[in-house]
Amino acid sequence: MPWTAADIPDQSGRVAVVTGANGGLGLEVARELAGKGALVVMAARDQAKAAAARETVASQVPGAALELQPLDLASLASVRQAAAAILAGHPRVDILVNNAGLMAIDERRTEDGFEMQLGVNHLGHFALSGLLLPALLASDGARVVSVTSTGRHFGRPIDPANPNLEGHYDPWRAYGQSKLADLHFALELDRRFRTAATPARSIVVHPGFASTDLQARSARESGGRSQRFFHAMVRRVGMTPAQGALPLLRAATDPRAAGGALYTPRWVNWGPPVRRPLVGRSRSREAMTTLWEFSERETGIGFDLTARA
Ligand SMILES: NC(=O)c1ccc[n+]([C@@H]2O[C@H](COP(=O)([O-])OP(=O)(O)OC[C@H]3O[C@@H](n4cnc5c(N)ncnc54)[C@H](OP(=O)(O)O)[C@@H]3O)[C@@H](O)[C@H]2O)c1
């Protein structure tokens, strides 16, 4: 039987933080988790869009417990502020869905000078996860869900000597690098959780080809031919956002979802969420260690697995 949203167990009493919850897959994840009784912190950048998203969920899920939390992943100062506010309100976080992302945009930098896709897709989430660690460790079995993409197949591991791809920037290369980083971050985090004998799990997902604002923004912000092609394609043959959110929801809630697992649609970009084996350089320990050391150094945020809220 395919796994569906109806398989999500009761989430009453659980606290979930979802990044990019003001649209696309993040909004679907927020809606489903709230519908199952979780208190959902909708962490988002565009506040007008976030207020509208909250209204949408509230109108569809009577009694939904929702909080808005401003978060700009392109600013480490904003990540710190958001994490501090979340920790102040919630000493325990059971689910962290690191969902927000950008795809194949023109070359830009974050406030801290990181290449934008690396900064938002990976480094911002790395920092947020590290800062929320005390609350995650206070849960009796937290889940951290990271979102990769088929872009991981063409992405190269971070070269700490040129992480911003200076001099040979390409929008897809940068996306692939950031999405391979999301995968390696998730696997290394899970390894660390297990080494420290914590009950927390880190799981990685690929949503599939889902029609959200991702492709539209990519076409808008780059004007590139391939970006426009994917935008046109996804509108014709993409899954709905609700379908694309299922791997995220399964990783966040299925009691049988194991730490370090990869969930994707059954047919690569389409279909119900299933567990897939990790192959090839997905499993490169060397790349994971390099990424982790680079990310700690650049964000100034470490992961103290002995911390408690
Ligand atoms: N849809 C697909 O086919 C597909 C395939 C593979 C992987 N993915 C991954 O799925 C995730 C969700 O994407 P989506 O499809 O739902 O796209 P989407 O509709 O464009 O949503 C992206 C979300 O990321 C947020 N975001 C962008 N920059 C941000 C920043 N600096 N700080 C905080 N939030 C920021 C956006 O918020 P604002 O509007 O406020 O900027 C939005 O909520 C991404 O990680 C993407 O790489 C999607």
Nearest atom of ligand 1 to the alpha carbon of 71: 33
Residue 244 Cβ contacting ligand 1 at under 6 Å: yes
Spot the catalytic one: 126, 172, 175, 292.
Answer: 175
Question: Separation of 176 CA from ligand 1 center, angstroms?
Answer: 15
Q: How far is the CA of 258 from the centre of ligand 1 (A)?
A: 25
Q: Does residue 308 surpass a pLDDT of 60? A: no
State the pLDDT confidence band at 223, using cuts at 50, 70 and 90. Answer: confident
169 labelled catalytic: no
Q: Is the pTM of this model over 0.95?
A: yes
Percent of the chain with pLDDT over 90: 96
The finding on whether 86 has its CB within 6 A of some atom of ligand 1 is: no
Question: What would the 3-class secondary structure string for the chain be?
Answer: CCCCHHHCCCCCCCEEEEECCCCHHHHHHHHHHHHCCCEEEEEECCHHHHHHHHHHHHHHCCCCEEEEEECCCCCHHHHHHHHHHHHHHCCCCCEEEECCCCCCCCCCECCCCCEHHHHHHHHHHHHHHHHHHHHHHCCCCCEEEEECCHHHHCCCCCCCCCCCCCCCCCHHHHHHHHHHHHHHHHHHHHHHHHHCCCCCEEEEECCCCECCHHHHHHHHHHCCHHHHHHHHHHHHHCECHHHHCHHHHHHHHCCCCCCCCEEEEEECCEEEEEEECCCHHHHCHHHHHHHHHHHHHHHCCCCCCCCCC
pLDDT bin (cut points 50, 70, 90) of residue 207 is: very high
Tell me what pLDDT residue 281 has: 86
Write the residue with the smallest CA distance to atom 42 of ligand 1: 20
The response to whether residue 221 sits with its C-beta less than 6 Å from ligand 1 reads: no
Q: Label residue 259 by pLDDT band (50, 70, 90).
A: very high
Q: Is the pLDDT assigned to residue 217 strictly greater than 90? A: yes
The per-residue pLDDT for 309 is 46
Per-residue pLDDT of 99-138, as tens digits, reads 999 999 999 999 999 999 999 999 999 999 999 999 999 9
Residue to probe by mutation, ligand 1, list 212, 235, 264, most atoms within 8 Å of CB: 212
